[in-house]
Structure 1
Amino acid sequence: MLAAATTSLFGKSSSLSAYTIHTTPTSTPSSSSLNLASTQGQPSKRKPLSVGLWKVLSGTHKTTGKDVSVWIFEKRVIDGVRSPQLKEIVLETLRKEAQSLTKLRHPDLLQITEPLEETRSELTFVTEAITGSLSGILRDLSENVHGPGSDRNRGGSAGLEVDEVEIQKGVLQVSRALSFLHNQAKLVHLNINPDAILINTKGDWKLSGLTHITPIPSSSSSANQQKYVYPEVDNRIPSQVQWKLDYLAPEYIIDGPGSWGTGVDVYSLGCLLFAVHLGGKPPFRNNGSIQTATTHLEQDLVQGSWRGGRRWQEAGDEVRDLLPKLITRHAQPRLSLPTLQSHSYFSSLAISTLNFLDPSNFASKPREEKASFLKGLLRVLPGFSDRLKRRKILPSLLDEMKDVYLLPFLLPDVFEICKTLTNDEFAEVLPRVQPLFDLKDSAQTMLMLIESIPMFAQKTSPEVFRKSVMPLIYHALESEHSNVQEKVLGAIPSLCDNLDYSTLQDILLVKVAIVFTKTTLLSVKVETLRCFLAMVTILDKAVLTQKLVPLLAKIRTKGELRIMATLAVHEAMGMKVDREAVAGLVLPQLWAMSMGPLLSVDQFGKFMSVIKSLGNRVEREHLEHLRAIRRADEQTSTFAGASATAPGFSMNGGGEVDFEALVGSKGTTGGSNGAANGSRGVQGLSLDDPWDRTDDWLASAPATSSTRPAVNYTPTHAPTTPTACGRLKARPVPASTFNTAAFAAEPAVSRPNNAMGSMNGIMQSTPALPPPQVQMTRAPLSPRPAGPNYNISLAPQAPTTSVFGAAPSLSMGTSMMASKPMAMNTTPSTAAPPGWTNSGGMGMGGVLQPTRKIEQASNKKTFNDADWGDFDPLK
C-alpha cells in the first residue's frame, strides 16, 4: 500500500518528481554505513522509518545524487477520527511542524529540502537524509538494559549503539538548537522528547518535532494568557500529536500562564538526558494523565525519590551532578543553556575535539592551526568509539581533503579510521581518496598513500584493487622522486601473489624493468631486483628466459649489494627455467659476477654454492635426457629386428617397417597365403623399398593378376615378366651379353594361383642372370652367418628371345621346382654353383661371377665385371 501511495504521489507532486524514492528496504535504519554512496552515484537504501504519524522513506536526487528523506503522511491514517474538527486539529498540527522547519534554518535543526505539499490524500515534504530517531534507540535500551559491569556503549535489537561521547555531542547540538530558538527566533519548543530528536547520516542529533512551538511569553499577562495552551490529552486523536506529559516542565502543567518561559525546554532536555542514561525511560511515567503528572511533580520530584537505585549509580559522577540541576520543580534553580554547555560533563577532551572539528567551526581556522590539530588527532582517536569515528570524524576529514596543503596531516587520520571499516564501508571511502593517486608532485602525499597499499589490498577485492589502486603504483614508479620509487618497489613483492598474471607480466614487470634500466641509485636498483625475485615464482619459463635473464645481463657495476641481489634472482630462475637456458645464459653470468673484486670470501662461497647447485641440476637432467634418447633408440632397434623376423613384416632400406607388407596389401593376386609368402622375399634380408617401384609393378602386372583397376602405363624400356611378389623383379639384360645361339625359345608360362607356383613361374619366365649381390641395410639384432647361400642349382636351358635380342635365362632345376617349393638356404656356404665363383669371399657381400667368359656377338658391346655394378637379379 505504501508503494502504491508513493507511486500515485509522483503524478501529483512537482517537487517529488526530481527524486528517486526507494520503497524497497535493503538495510535497517541502524546500519552503520557511512552513507557516502551519493559520491558514487549509487543511492543509499534504508528501511522506512516511522516518526510520529509520518512515514519516512529514503530517496535520491536524480541530478545531484544527494540522499534525502521523504516524509509522507497519508490522511487515511486518521479515518478513525470521527470528528472533522479533530481531524483538522491533527492535520493542522502536522502542517505546523513542516512549515516551522521551512521557516527556521540552523545547523542543529532538521534541514528542509522541499517544502510541504498537500494533496487530497497526503502531506509530503523532503528533508536531509536521516537514519533514525532517538526514540528508536531508547526503545532498544528499555528492552535490553545492561547489567552491572557493562561498558558505556548502548545498543539494542536493531544494532544501534550510542556511547557517552555521542550522547554528550548530541545533547550539546540540541542545546545549541534551543539556544537559537530562544535567542534568535524567540520561540519555545515545548515538545522536547525522543521522537523530536533525529539522527542524520553523520551521526548528528537534529532537533525536530515543532508541533507545539510557541513564542516566548512577553511581560504582559494578557499576552501570556493568549499564548498559553492547556496541555490536555484527548484520547480521541492519535497520541503522536498530543502533549508529552512525561517530558513537560512542572511549571507549565501545574502553575499555568505567566509562570513559564524558556526554562521548560531545559527541564525537558534534562528528562531526555535521564532517559538516555537510565534505561530509556524518563524520570516519571504519567500515562497521559494530568493528575498523575501533578502527583509526581509535586511529591516525587520534590522529595528526590527519582534519584537512586542501581541505574543511577551506573550513570557516572558527572551525570549525577548534572541531572539534579536540570530536573527541578521550579525554573529558577535550573541551569541556563549557556551554563549547561560549559558544565564539566561536556568538557572532556573528546567533546572538545569534536567541537573543534565541527564544520561550522573548523572552516574558520587558519591552516597552521588545522595542521596542528590534525597531527594531535591521531593520538586521541583511540578514545573514540568505532561508530563515532566512522559516522562523525571520518566524514568531516574527507570534506577537508580538497585542501592539498592539509593532505599530509589528514591522510594518517583517515587511514587510521579506515582500518576499523568493513570492506563495504571502505568501498564508499575509496572514491574520495582515489583522485589523490594522480598527485605526482607531492612526494609526501604519495609516500603516505603507498604506506597504505597493504590496507587497500585487504579492504578491496582483487578486481577493485587492479582497477582502482594499481594506478597509484604505476604513478609512483614513474615518479621523479627516488624515495617514492624506492617505497613503492618495497611494497610490490607482497602484492605479486594477489595480482592476475596478465597485469603482472604485461604491465608491472615492464614498469619495474624500466626503473631498473634507468635508475642510477643503488637502493632503487636493489629494490627492483627484489621485485624480480618475487615475480620469478609466478612468471613462466619463456618470460624469464626471453626477458628477465637478458635484462639482468645488463648489470655492469660490481657493487656487492647489487651482485648479491642478482645472485638471489639467478638462483630462483635457475631452478625454474630449462637446463639449456641455465647452461647457456644463467651460469655464464654467475661465473662472470663471481669474479667481482669486492666480494668477500663468504659471498664468493655463496656464488660457488649456487653455481654448483645449478651445474648439478644441468648435469642430472641432461644425463637423464641422453639416457632417454638411448632407450628410445634401443627400443626402435628391438622393434625393427622383431619386425624383420616376424611373419608378414619386412624392413625397407632405411630401417623402417614396410607398411604394405605389414597390412598385407602386396602380392594380393595369390590369395591370403600368397600375399603372406610372396611379400616375405628372402627371410631376414632387407632388399629394397617397394614404395619406389610401385608404378613399375603396376605397369608390368597383367590386368587379371590384381584386383586394382588397370593403369595405362607406357614403359620406356622393354617390360619384363611381372612377379607375384612386389619386392622381387627381374631387370632386363642386354642381349649382347649372352650367346643367343645357345638358348632356345621358351613357351609362355601362365601365372599360378599360389605363392610357390608364382615363384616357379617367375623363375621359368625370367632370363638367366648372374646371381645378385645381396646387402644388409641394417645390422641384425642377433648374430648371423657370414654370407648368404641360396644353394640354387643351375641347369642349361634353351635360350629365349627378348626385345633386346638373344638373352640367356637361368634354369632353376625344373624337375625339382615342380615337385616341391623352392628352398632358399640362408645358411652360409663357401661352395659356389658349378660354373660360378664367389668373388667376395665368404661374406654376405660376395658376388657370384661366371668362371668362363661368355662369347659375344661381333656387333654387340662387350661388358666387363665392373659393368654389373650392384645388379640384383631378384629385383
Structure 2
Amino acid sequence: MWSFFSRDPSKDFNFEVGEIVSRLEDKSIWNLHKGKRKGSTEEVSIFVFDIRNRSESQFDTAKSAVKRLKTLRHPSILTYLDSFESDKVIYLATEYVEPLAVHLQKQSIEGPQKELYVAWGIFQITRALSFLNNDGNLKHNNVNIWSVFVNNSGEWKLGGVEYVCTAQDDGSSMYKILPSLEVYDAPEKPDPNMLKLANKCSTDMWGLGCLIWEVFNGSLNNRSSLRIQENIPKQLIQLYSELVGSNPSSRPNPADIITRCRKLGGYFKNDLVDTLLFLEEIQIKDKNEKNRFFSNLTPHLDNFPDNVCKHKILPQLITAFEYGDAGSAVLAPMFKLGRLLDEVDYQKKIVPCVVKLFSSNDRVTRSRLLQQLEFFIGHLQAGTVNEQIFPQVAHGFMDTNPTIREQTVKSVIHLAPKLSYNNLNVEVLKHFARLQSKDGQGGIRTNTTVCLGKIAQHLHPQIRQKVLISAFIRAMRDPFPPARTAGILALAATQQYYLLNEVALRILPALCQLTMDPEKSVRDSAFRTIKGFLGKLEKVSENPSLRESMEADVNTATPSLSNAAATWAGWAVTAVTAKFYRSQSDTVKSMNPMSCKMLTKPASLEQPSSSSISTTTSSVTSMTSLEHEDGSRGNDSVSDYDYDHWGDNDWGDMETHEQMASSSGSGGGDATSDPTSPPSHSGQDKVTDGWDNEEWGNLEGEQETKSEITSPSEAWSPSEITTILQESQKESLPKSPIKQSSSNQDGWDKTEFEPLEEKPGINPKLEEAKRKREERKLMRQKELETRRASKTMGGPMKLGSKKL
C-alpha cells in the first residue's frame, strides 16, 4: 500500500539522463550529461546539480539559474526545454550542446573555414550580451569560455546564467561561489571608486575580452596573460584592447561593437555571417533579394564548416523552398549540401522536395533540376524514378524550348540505370528517334546520338541490336558535321555490341561513304574507325576462334569490360562520344516545326563551333530567357510536334522506310524533306548508299608491273565464257591487256568482240574467239618471260626507277 509513496519522483521527468559529458572543469556548479526525450530519439543535454554534495548557497544559485533561463529567449542564448527538482537533484534540460572549450579542441577545421566560423561565434555571443544589457537591462557577470556552449548547428549559445542580475545592481555584493572563476573578475570589482565609473555593459565587456583571448589561446589561468595579443586577429586587436582596458567607462557597448565590426572590412563582415544573418531574416526579404542570394550562395559553401551547412543552412533552404517563394534558385545549394546527409536523412528531407519539384510546370525549375540531377540521382529509389519522376521528365522531350529538350536528353545518362524496361527501351528510344531525325537544333541531334551511345550498355540486347546501327548510320547522314562525327565515334565506342556480319555488311559500307566528307574532322574519324573495324575482322580471319569472344557482349545484358571485344575498342572509350556537344550560342530561341527545313541545306552552310565536341554540358539557353519564355507560355509545356503520329517509324525499320521513300516519294520519308538525308555534294538530291556509284577509277594503279599479277597460265571456265556472251549484247566489254593502256592496263578493249549470233551446232565466231584468246595468252607469256630475263641480266634496280 505504501509503494506509491516510495516511487522515485524523477520518473515524472520527460527525459532520460545519460552518461556524463563534462564536469566543466570546476568552472560551474553543474555537471553536463547526455540525454534524450523519453519515447524519442531526440538528443538533449541535461545539466545536473547534486543537492547532497553542494552547499546551501550553491543550491540557491542553481534554482535561480533555472528560473532565469526559463525567461530568457533569444537565438544566441541556451534554449531551455524542461527542468525537475527533487530533494536529491535538480535537472535542467536544454538543447543538445557541448562546452565551447571542448568543442574547439575537437574541431579539425583550419584556415579560412576556422576564421569565418570563429567570427560567427563571437558575433553570436556579442549579440546575446547586447540583448541582455540593452533590451533586458541585465548583467550576465559570468562571460568566459566555460559559460558558452555549442549546439549541433555550430551555433554558440550563452549559458552560465547563475550570476545574472539587474543593471541597477552595482555588483559589489555579487561574488563567485567557485574560486576558479575569480580570474575572470573585472579589475574594478574590489575598488568602489572604480565601480562608480562602470556602466551596465562594463563587466560583461571585460568578460567578452576574456572570451576572445581564450578562443585564440586556450583557457585563461592568469589575468596578466590578457596582455599577450600575438594570436588575436589584427582586425580584433583594437577592439580587444578596449574590452580589457582598465577604465570601465571606456569599454564599448555590445551594440556599438556589432555596428563597427559589420562595416566593410570589419571582423564580422564575411560570407558566413552574411549568409546566416540573411537566412534568419529571409521571411522579410523580397523575391529578387532571395534569388540573388541563392544564386551567389553555392560557391561559398565550400568555405563553410560542414556542421553549420548540414544543421543550420540546409534546413533553412528546405524551409525557404517549401513555405516561401525562394523559387528554383534554391535548388543548386540545396542539392550540394544534400551530400552531407546520411541515406535516412536524405530520403526524409530531400527526396520529397525532389518529387514535388519535378511536377512543377516552371521551366526554370525543371531546367535547374535536370542540371543538378547527378547530385541526387544516386539517392532515389528505382520505383520513385519510374513512377513519379520519369513521367515528368519525359515531357521535356517534347518541350518547345531547345534548352529543356537538350537537358532532358542529357538527363537520361543518369536516369538510365534506374529505368524500367518499358521506360528505357520503349519510351526513351521513341523520343530519341524523333529528336535525332526531326529536331531543328543540330546540337540536340548530336547530343541525342552521344547519349544513345552512352546508355547502350543499359539497353536490352535485342533492342540494342535492332536500334544502335540504324541510329548511328542515321546520324552519319546528318547535315550537321558534329552529328556525323558523333555517329562515327558512337559506332566505335559501342563496337562490342555488333555481330561481325553486321560490321562487314552494314557498318563498314556506311563508314566508307564518309571518307569523302567535306569536313576533315569527319573524314579523320571515319578513317580511324574503319581501321579499327578492319583490324577486328582481320584478327578473326586469321584466328576464327576469336569470333566467339569478339561477339561475347552482343547478347549479354551486363557486358564484361575485360573481354577481347572491349579491350580492342580501348581507344574508342575515350573518343568524342564520351562528351556532349556544346551549341554555338548561349541563347537559342525556341523553334517552330517550320524551322526543321533548315536541315535540307548543305552541310557547308551549317558550321560547328570552334570546338565541335566540348567537355562542358552547359545549357544552350540562359535562365533569363527561360524565365521570359515561361512567363509568356503559362503552364503549357507540350511541343508543337505531332507526337501521336510517331510510333511506327522506329530505328529498327529506318532503312526500309528510306528505301521505300526514295522509290515512291510518299509519306514522311521523302528524300528531299527527310532531315536525315545526307548532304548532297554533287548537286543531286537523291539519297544513295555509295555502292551504286561506278566512278571508282583505276584501283590497280598505273605501274606496268601490275600486269604481273595475272598468271600466264590462267584460263576462263566455259561458264565464264557463256556469261560474257550473254552480257555482250547489253554492255561493252573491258579493254584488252595487249594495248597496255595507262588508264586501264589490265582491262579489255570494247571493240575486241563483235556481237555473236547463236546458231545450231558449232558457232564459228565462238571458235574464233577461243583462238584469239589462246594467241593473247601466248603473247603475254612471252612478254613476261622477256621482262624476267631482262631484270636478271640488268642487275639491281634503283628505287623509283623504271626499266623497259
Q: State TM-score, norm by structure 1.
A: 0.50
Q: Residue 315 of structure 1 is aligned with which of 217, 232, 246?
A: 232
Q: Flag the 1:362–1:282 CA change in 2: closer, same or farther, 3 A.
A: farther
Secondary structure of the corresponding residue to residue 84 of structure 2:
strand
Q: In the TM superposition, what is the alpha-carbon distance from 1:373 to its structure 2 partner?
A: 3.4
2: CA distance, partners of 1:353 / 1:166 = 7
Q: Residue 248 of structure 2 is aligned with which of 331, 340, 361?
A: 331
Partner of 2:431 in structure 1? 515
Q: Residue 210 of structure 2 is aligned with which of 260, 271, 274?
A: 271
Matches within 5 A, 1:186-225: 186-217=137-168
Larger radius of gyration: 1
1: CA distance, partners of 2:472 / 2:116 = 59
Describe the superposition over 1:626-655 as per-residue Cα deviations: whole angstroms up to 9, x where unpaired.
999xxxxxxxxxxxxxxxxxxxxxxxxxxx
Q: Flag the 1:101–1:579 CA change in 2: closer, same or farther, 3 A.
A: same
Q: Flag the 1:175–1:567 CA change in 2: closer, same or farther, 3 A.
A: closer
Decide which moves more: 482-491 or 200-209: 482-491
Partner of 2:30 in structure 1? 53
Describe the superposition over 1:818-837 as per-residue Cα deviations: whole angstroms up to 9, x where unpaired.
xxxxxxxxxxxxxxxxxxxx
Q: In the TM superposition, what is the alpha-carbon distance from 1:431 to its structure 2 partner?
A: 4.3
Q: Flag the 1:483–1:510 CA change in 2: closer, same or farther, 3 A.
A: farther
2: CA distance, partners of 1:610 / 1:189 = 79
Secondary structure of the corresponding residue to residue 251 of structure 1:
coil
Contact conserved, 1:571 with 1:610, CA < 8 A, in 2? yes
Contact conserved, 1:198 with 1:208, CA < 8 A, in 2? yes
Amino acid at match of 1:175: T
Amino acid at match of 2:255: P
Q: CA RMSD in A?
A: 4.9
Partner of 1:135 in structure 2? 101
Q: In the TM superposition, what is the alpha-carbon distance from 1:513 to its structure 2 partner?
A: 0.6
Q: In the TM superposition, what is the alpha-carbon distance from 1:207 to its structure 2 partner?
A: 1.5
Q: Flag the 1:62–1:555 CA change in 2: closer, same or farther, 3 A.
A: farther
Describe the superposition over 1:106-137 as per-residue Cα deviations: whole angstroms up to 9, x where unpaired.
22222223x3222444433433333x222324
Matches within 5 A, 1:266-305: 266-281=205-220, 284=223
Q: In the TM superposition, what is the alpha-carbon distance from 1:386 to its structure 2 partner?
A: 5.7
Q: Flag the 1:615–1:9 CA change in 2: closer, same or farther, 3 A.
A: farther
Contact conserved, 1:117 with 1:124, CA < 8 A, in 2? yes
The answer for unaligned runs of 5 or more in structure 1 is: 1-6, 30-48, 145-149, 154-161, 219-223, 234-238, 285-299, 629-875
Describe the superposition over 1:754-786 as per-residue Cα deviations: whole angstroms up to 9, x where unpaired.
xxxxxxxxxxxxxxxxxxxxxxxxxxxxxxxxx
Q: Residue 188 of structure 2 is aligned with which of 233, 251, 260?
A: 251
Q: Flag the 1:517–1:9 CA change in 2: closer, same or farther, 3 A.
A: farther
Matches within 5 A, 1:626-665: none
Contact conserved, 1:270 with 1:326, CA < 8 A, in 2? yes
Describe the superposition over 1:665-724 as per-residue Cα deviations: whole angstroms up to 9, x where unpaired.
xxxxxxxxxxxxxxxxxxxxxxxxxxxxxxxxxxxxxxxxxxxxxxxxxxxxxxxxxxxx
Partner of 2:121 in structure 1? 170
2: CA distance, partners of 1:575 / 1:334 = 78
Contact conserved, 2:101 with 2:145, CA < 8 A, in 1? yes
Matches within 5 A, 1:501-540: 503=419, 507-519=423-435, 520-521=438-439, 522-537=442-457, 539=459
Secondary structure of the corresponding residue to residue 198 of structure 1:
strand
Partner of 2:58 in structure 1? 90
1: CA distance, partners of 2:475 / 2:301 = 49
Amino acid at match of 1:486: E
Contact conserved, 1:96 with 1:211, CA < 8 A, in 2? yes
Matched residues, number? 524
Q: In the TM superposition, what is the alpha-carbon distance from 1:72 to its structure 2 partner?
A: 4.8
Describe the superposition over 1:246-293 as per-residue Cα deviations: whole angstroms up to 9, x where unpaired.
222233344398675522112111111121123332651xxxxxxxxx
Secondary structure of the corresponding residue to residue 161 of structure 2:
coil
Secondary structure of the corresponding residue to residue 123 of structure 1:
strand
2: CA distance, partners of 1:357 / 1:230 = 36
Partner of 1:124 in structure 2? 91
Partner of 2:326 in structure 1? 406
Secondary structure of the corresponding residue to residue 281 of structure 2:
helix
Q: In the TM superposition, what is the alpha-carbon distance from 1:553 to its structure 2 partner?
A: 8.4
Contact conserved, 2:35 with 2:45, CA < 8 A, in 1? yes
Secondary structure of the corresponding residue to residue 487 of structure 1:
helix
Amino acid at match of 1:127: T
Decide which moves more: 193-202 or 275-284: 275-284
Contact conserved, 1:541 with 1:577, CA < 8 A, in 2? no
Q: In the TM superposition, what is the alpha-carbon distance from 1:371 to its structure 2 partner?
A: 2.7
Q: Residue 112 of structure 1 is aligned with which of 80, 85, 89?
A: 80
Q: State TM-score, norm by structure 2.
A: 0.54
2: CA distance, partners of 1:404 / 1:579 = 60
Matches within 5 A, 1:6-17: 11-13=11-13, 15-16=14-15
- Percentage of identical aligned residues: 17
2: CA distance, partners of 1:372 / 1:616 = 57
Secondary structure of the corresponding residue to residue 248 of structure 2:
coil
2: CA distance, partners of 1:258 / 1:428 = 58
Q: In the TM superposition, what is the alpha-carbon distance from 1:243 to its structure 2 partner?
A: 7.6
Q: In the TM superposition, what is the alpha-carbon distance from 1:578 to its structure 2 partner?
A: 3.3
2: CA distance, partners of 1:396 / 1:551 = 47
Secondary structure of the corresponding residue to residue 149 of structure 2:
strand
1: CA distance, partners of 2:74 / 2:366 = 39
Amino acid at match of 2:234: D
Secondary structure of the corresponding residue to residue 195 of structure 1:
coil
Contact conserved, 1:437 with 1:475, CA < 8 A, in 2? no
Contact conserved, 2:236 with 2:267, CA < 8 A, in 1? no
Secondary structure of the corresponding residue to residue 515 of structure 1:
helix
Q: In the TM superposition, what is the alpha-carbon distance from 1:170 to its structure 2 partner?
A: 2.2
Q: Flag the 1:505–1:51 CA change in 2: closer, same or farther, 3 A.
A: farther
Amino acid at match of 2:432: F
Decide which moves more: 544-553 or 52-61: 544-553
Q: Flag the 1:541–1:104 CA change in 2: closer, same or farther, 3 A.
A: closer
2: CA distance, partners of 1:71 / 1:168 = 28
2: CA distance, partners of 1:266 / 1:592 = 83
Q: Flag the 1:205–1:544 CA change in 2: closer, same or farther, 3 A.
A: same
Q: In the TM superposition, what is the alpha-carbon distance from 1:622 to its structure 2 partner?
A: 9.0
2: CA distance, partners of 1:611 / 1:259 = 93
Q: In the TM superposition, what is the alpha-carbon distance from 1:325 to its structure 2 partner?
A: 0.8
Q: In the TM superposition, what is the alpha-carbon distance from 1:211 to its structure 2 partner?
A: 1.0
Contact conserved, 2:465 with 2:497, CA < 8 A, in 1? no
1: CA distance, partners of 2:288 / 2:485 = 47
Secondary structure of the corresponding residue to residue 322 of structure 2:
coil
Q: In the TM superposition, what is the alpha-carbon distance from 1:316 to its structure 2 partner?
A: 2.9
Residue 372 (structure 2) pairs with residue 452 (structure 1):
yes
Q: Flag the 1:622–1:314 CA change in 2: closer, same or farther, 3 A.
A: closer
Q: Residue 476 of structure 1 is aligned with which of 393, 400, 409?
A: 393
Secondary structure of the corresponding residue to residue 90 of structure 2:
strand
Contact conserved, 1:513 with 1:528, CA < 8 A, in 2? no
2: CA distance, partners of 1:343 / 1:97 = 32
2: CA distance, partners of 1:612 / 1:391 = 57
2: CA distance, partners of 1:198 / 1:172 = 14
Describe the superposition over 1:83-123 as per-residue Cα deviations: whole angstroms up to 9, x where unpaired.
xxx2x43333222212211122222222223x322244443
Q: Flag the 1:99–1:209 CA change in 2: closer, same or farther, 3 A.
A: same
Describe the superposition over 1:573-621 as per-residue Cα deviations: whole angstroms up to 9, x where unpaired.
56433345557xxx35875797799954865897698689768977986
2: CA distance, partners of 1:103 / 1:94 = 15
Secondary structure of the corresponding residue to residue 251 of structure 2:
coil
Amino acid at match of 2:62: L
Describe the superposition over 1:162-206 as per-residue Cα deviations: whole angstroms up to 9, x where unpaired.
833333322222222222222333322112222221112222211
Q: In the TM superposition, what is the alpha-carbon distance from 1:377 to its structure 2 partner?
A: 4.2
2: CA distance, partners of 1:244 / 1:201 = 27
Q: Flag the 1:504–1:89 CA change in 2: closer, same or farther, 3 A.
A: same
Partner of 1:651 in structure 2? none
2: CA distance, partners of 1:370 / 1:401 = 11
Partner of 1:366 in structure 2? 286
Q: In the TM superposition, what is the alpha-carbon distance from 1:330 to its structure 2 partner?
A: 3.6
Describe the superposition over 1:51-104 as per-residue Cα deviations: whole angstroms up to 9, x where unpaired.
7523332435868x7x451415263xx5345xxxx2x43333222212211122
Matches within 5 A, 1:767-782: none
Q: In the TM superposition, what is the alpha-carbon distance from 1:331 to its structure 2 partner?
A: 1.8
Secondary structure of the corresponding residue to residue 455 of structure 2:
helix
